[in-house]
Amino acid sequence: MLPFSYAVRNLFRSKSRLLQTIGGSAAVVLLVMVAVAINHGMKRVLAASGSEYNIILIGAGSEESIQRSEVAERAAGIAESGIPGIHEALGVRAVSGEIQYMSYLSLADGRRTQGLFRGVTPQALLVHPQVRLLEGAFPSSGQIMLGRYAWRKLGLGEGDLKTGGSITVDGQKLEISGIFAAPGTVLESEIWATLGDLKVIAKRDTLSCVVVRLDDPADFAEADLFAKQRLDLELSALRESDYYARLSAFFKPLRAMTWITAALIAAGALFGGVNTLYAAFASRVREMATLQAIGFRRGPLLLSLVQESTLACLIGTLIASILAMMWLDGRTIPFSIGAFTIEIGPGVATTGLLTGILLGLLGALPPAIRCLKPPLPTALRMS
């Protein structure tokens, strides 16, 4: 066997080749890590947004989109008295009539963007217990409350939306009363207004849905039976977790496109790296033949060449991991119904490491085999 130090010394024989190999592998690994982190982040936020304790009463036929749903306002009170097992806190039952509405809003400086509004009453805090007020107060008439990542979803700067500021929606000026957090959910990208204000803005007298929180998820059967029995309300009952699972399936093609894009770019970088190794190893045919002539077999020589490539790729993997931790970890990415945070966790890091190792192995084998393929007498005469 050739000593490992031989492979290490050969890395620095050509500085330009080394930089090309490290740069190519770093780009491939970084792309793979980004694709994995985006997929995990989107799936995680959609899974965390739905609670198995919450039931959504939605208009029959609108199960795919709450925004298109219409539910009679009286359905909230009827559901509150007609569904057993509803969670209760301080004598108030956890039933929240809500409106979800997508609309354009304008800032004081004239900028215009589109945001997702949720019309709520104070009972919304009972069905969404993950909501925590960070600053300010719950909105009253003429006010709104923002999720802490709403600025990212709106494509604005973090300092553009502060407590005490204001926005204009359909000619109605709304003051920002507070900022709230709902860790790991799409709620953090929403704008909450009072139910009365949003009825006026959306020009509707119906709700989008009624959200009911149960003490026991097994009581879903009772809520489903209620929806089927009250034909006059034209309701359909869904577990909130099932609704967001459907949304996750809807975004599956988008996540697939992320993988395809990363794969195409990675393939280009991989082929470029393989081409570089072909050129590098082609100039070492005589060197390898000389080592064979003094007693080294082709297997150990092949292993040494693979070690060189793998070591360079692992250096690229280290650089990619550092860049991912510095620039990507904790970054918030907006998508159509909210935003999610990229986390470079153990799973993403492990995927990047495995990618770097595979690049070193698979990228080096074809050019290394070609380098060792010529018969010894022919290889010794090659320049």
What 8-state DSSP symbol labels residue 59? E
d(CA 350, CA 365): 23
pLDDT at 137: 93
Which of 331, 352, 334, 350 has the alpha carbon at shortest distance from 342? 331
pTM, whole model, 2 decimals?
A: 0.76
pLDDT reported for residue 293: 81
Contact of 289 with 376, CB cutoff 8 Å? yes
Return the pLDDT at 379. Answer: 64
Candidates 288, 278, 275; CA nearest to 372 is 288
Closest CA to 308 of 348, 268, 342, 280: 280
What does the block give as tokens for 234?
A: 């034209």
Residues in the chain, pLDDT under 70: 273, 280, 282-283, 336, 379-383
Q: How far apart are CA 354 and CA 367, in angstroms?
A: 21
In this prediction, residue 383 carries a pLDDT of 58
Smallest CA-to-CA distance from 201 within 271, 151, 278, 144 is with 144
